[in-house]
Structures are given as structure tokens and as C-alpha cells.
Chains A and B, each alone.
Chain A
Amino acid sequence: MQHEMIFAGFGGQGVLLIGKMIAYAGLNSGKEVSWLPSYGPEMRGGTANCTVVVADEPVGSPVVASPWAVVAMNLPSLDKFEPTVAPGGVLVINTSLINRPAVRTDVRVVNVAANEICNELGNPKGANMVTVGCFVGATEVVPVQQMEDLIRETFAAKPKLIDVNVECFRRGLEVGRAQKAV
């Protein structure tokens, strides 16, 4: 088993963080993992993405041309990575910031209004947690409990952010589970 994923969005949306959480959750459940950020002369508001591989065997190439899943937090990311998703793969779309539907018909499309949900929960920076929750809910790529533990660890230094982010994650999880493949 090997799952390759690309998480993409604006710099500052926290896509590197949710990729890292998936990688950690994979490692903590006994898998081999790699996390590779795009790095370049980029800044807040620019584009950011990371490639995560979770596998049973040691990871070969950390560079992936056609990933099993793409999680797009904004329109430029969808434009760039939608064509790369492997047929039969998963495409998660943050509909709050992306005003077009998916073009691909050979992949499973999962929609989540991440910014609306996190705003509603009073955590306007939590769109990434909603989105990754939705992704985990729709795919079960890593265990839910591992992710919740990681949220608690990630925000350990800012305890008042723990519960709101867990809540964002759980709401995303529900949205994802409702769109789970049958």
C-alpha cells in the first residue's frame, strides 16, 4: 500500500502543517513516510504545497508526478494540480475559495466549504483543520485519533487554540464521512 498526496494552497493557509500532520499520523501508526515541501522564493500570499507519501515499504521517490490525492485550498492550486491526480484518486476542493467545480470525472471529488465552517466556529484560521478533517473523513488514510492527538500536540503552547481546532477538524470529518466512497 502506498498513498501519495499533495496539499496545496496560499502561503499562510497552513497546508504545510496539515501535510506534516498526515505524515506524523502515518509514522505514528507504523508506516513509512516522507514530507517534501515546495520551497522557493515564496512568501505569505504566494503558493505553497507539500507532497506527502505514506507507505508500507520505505518511500522511494518523495517526488510525485501523479498523486493518489490532491487537497486544493484555493483556485490556483486546483488549476495546477487537478490534472495530476491519478485516475481513481481523490480530489478535495475548498469550495469557500474555489468557485468552479472539478473538471475531472475519473476521480472522486470531495467538497468542503472550509472557510465558512471555520468562521462559523469562530476560528477563522482553522480552514486547514476543517479541510484535513474532511480529507481524513472521506478517505480514512490515517487514524482519526492520531490526528486529534497531533492537533493537541501542535497547539500545546497555545492551549486555548486546542479545542477550537479539534472542533474544526471534527466538523470537517463529518463533511468528509458524508462523502465517503461506498
Chain B
Amino acid sequence: MNTKTTNVVIAGLGGQGVLKASDILADAAFRAGYDVKKSEIHGMSQRGGSVSSDVRFGREVFSPMVPPGEADYLVVLAPDQVEVNRPVLRAGGLLIAPDLIGENVLPNRRSLNVALLGALSRHLEIGESHWLDALRAHLPEKLHEANLAAFAIGRKAVKP
């Protein structure tokens, strides 16, 4: 297991499922046995404004917030939120932008959050079974099939 803390920032607009995605990521890392912390701001952000959520996991995590310029991964759900959030990435950090998943690839664009998690999952040391368990735990049963498919599409979008 990787002992260094991994820093992920997920960003987008209110209503896009940013917090849902960070819940799933945090839970997957928790199931994989890491210490995990997740942080975001609720409240005003729910009214269509910018939303971002920090997830950190490793052997022992202290602050729940990713320090500016120290994110290893930045996952962005809205095209116009890419540049706003880019400063959180460290030098050499990886941006996973919404255009990674083509406009008509997903049967429903609402599952973009989960598709981008699929892409992210290629880069993290978290077993696929933990991801799938976390997905099932955080989504209502009727949405499982569509989201598991979106997750698989995201995984395929990144070369192994």
C-alpha cells in the first residue's frame, strides 16, 4: 500500500454530483484500508455556484483540506471550472477534465461524475472491487446499472 498521502480535488458546479463523487472516492479508499479525510463547503454552494471537494488518503492524514498547489489529481466536471481550479494541482499533477468523456459516449450525461471516477481509478491504488462496493453503497439501486456502466466507460477512457 502507498504510504504517502494522495490528494484529490473534485470540482464542478452545484447539482453536478461533485459531493456524491467525493463520497464514493472517500468510501472506496476507506474500504481499501487507508486513513481517509474528505472536506468541502456546504451551504451557499448548493445554489448553482462553484463546488469543490477535497479527498485525502494514505497511512495517516491530518488536515482534511488539500493545501493549494498540492493536489495530485484534479477531477473537473464542468468545462468552465477547469481554469479556476487548476492552481490546486501540484507541478506534474494530473488533470482529469470533462472532455475526457466524449459528448455522446454516456447514455446520460448526469453520470459524468462517476465516469470521471472510473478514469481516476486507473491511477489510484484502490482495488476495483472497493470502487464497485462504494458505488453501490452511495447510489440508489435503480441507478446501479447505469453508473456501473459509466464507471466502466471512464476506466476504458484511460490506457492501462
Q: Real complex partners, A and B?
A: no
Residues of B within 8 A of A (CB): none
